[in-house]
Amino acid sequence: MRHFDHVDTAHRKHLFYRHPRCFDRHDEPEVLAVALGATLYCPATRPLLAGDIEKAARRGVMSMVVCLEDSVADDEVPAAEANAVAQLRELRRRGTELPLLFIRIREPGQVGDLIARLGEAASLVTGFVLPKFTGVTGGAFLEALEETSARTGLRLLAMPVIESPEAVYSETRTELLNDVARLLAKHRERILAVRLGATDMSAAYGLRRPPDLTIYDIRPVASVICDVVNVLGRVDGSGFVVTGPVWEYFSAGERMFKPQLRQSPFDRQHAAPLRQRLITSDLDGLIREVHLDKANGLTGKTVIHPSHVAAVHALSVVTHEEYSDAADILGVAGGGVMASAYANKMNEAKPHRAWAERLMLRARVFGVAAEDVTFVELLDAAGSR
């Protein structure tokens, strides 16, 4: 797999200074965690699930979650499980190229049960998404993964979701996150990334963010994200990749605020209709939220519609300026300060080093844009079929 592989080869040569590198489900977790990009959730009840997954792959989706939890009604779970098993078996029979596939489950017993029912198709599953994860409930999920992996020889990775009320309420949050950190440390080789369940977090206060605000404007939830990154997203060797929360809108209603996309980046020929499409679909809000995700230490994002993927991936490409700064910082031993090659900022070798190392990993997976290529061009290309 490789990001932007669905884009015409000649066009890719124009877009990239350094091209994205290939990866597969057997790569190291630190590579796969960044490569997830926009992770598309899909209910396991979809009757044409196999075709939906294939279509998503052709559109540049690199990671998908087949959901058996909140997107499925309680009385539909057995049918949803049967459908997921049948559809994944069909995908294995077809032998087409697929995204990284995960299953979001409800309870630990589903891990071993689903893997057994999938048979040889279990090799398509990269791992499981573990909902409502706490230090108390999470151990059983991770033990089920360990046992099933040992029994089958499959490497099954975990993506725990921080979304329970105990993680939201201030009086229990610190203890919960510290308990989770200790539990995840014991299973470090199994943990791919930590996900944020912003919908459930908002539900704890009876809130739902409107499409013209970002999750960072919802201050009770923003404070939770801050604490999750503080405890679980550190770069001192104890942390994990933390992914951006879900963007749940895909069509516009009446707008209260002005669009969040400036006109000037879209002034080039033929770009104005792209800007209008983004605004009409409320994707200007998504673009702003992804910017804020990155600024707050989050990598990738949960999405619920294929139209969201291009924006997340275009914003994941490292700019030529960022790459130049990171290369300069990593090329200095012993510290010190220097002006950037773009002559617009100060680069400090020691405090900026961790940022530069993280950025270079993203550059490996998503590539580095050519010097004159803008986000608009990358977005236009990523959205092509």
CATH of domain 24-317: 3.20.20.60
Backbone angles phi, psi at 348, to 5 degrees: -105, 125
What beta strand segments (E) does the chain contain? 16-18, 38-43, 63-67, 100-104, 125-130, 157-162, 195-196, 244-247, 301-303, 337-339, 346-348, 368-369
> How do the domains of the chain map onto residue ranges?
24-317
DSSP, res 69? S
Tens digits of pLDDT across the chain (385 residues)? 999 999 999 999 999 999 999 999 999 999 999 999 999 999 999 999 999 999 999 999 999 999 999 999 999 999 999 999 999 999 999 999 999 999 999 999 999 999 999 999 999 999 999 999 999 999 999 999 999 999 999 999 999 999 999 999 999 999 999 999 999 999 999 999 999 999 999 999 999 988 889 999 999 999 999 999 999 999 999 999 999 999 988 765 554 455 555 555 655 655 555 544 554 456 888 999 999 999 999 999 999 999 899 999 999 999 999 999 999 999 988 888 888 888 889 889 899 999 999 999 999 999 999 999 998 899 989 886 5
- How many whole angstroms separate alpha carbon 158 and alpha carbon 128? 5
3-state SS assignment for residue 126: strand
Q: Is 52 annotated as a binding residue?
A: no
3-state SS assignment for residue 21: coil
**Neighbour-count burial of 35, counting CB atoms closer than 10 A to its CB (0-12 exposed, 13-18 middle, 19+ buried):** buried
- How many whole angstroms separate alpha carbon 27 and alpha carbon 53? 21
Who contacts 205 (Cβ-Cβ below 8 Å, separation ≥6)?
168, 220, 221
Q: 């995840």: which residue's tokens?
A: 184
3-state SS assignment for residue 324: helix
- How many whole angstroms separate alpha carbon 359 and alpha carbon 280? 32
The DSSP bridge partners found for residue 242 are: 194
- How many whole angstroms separate alpha carbon 323 and alpha carbon 238? 26
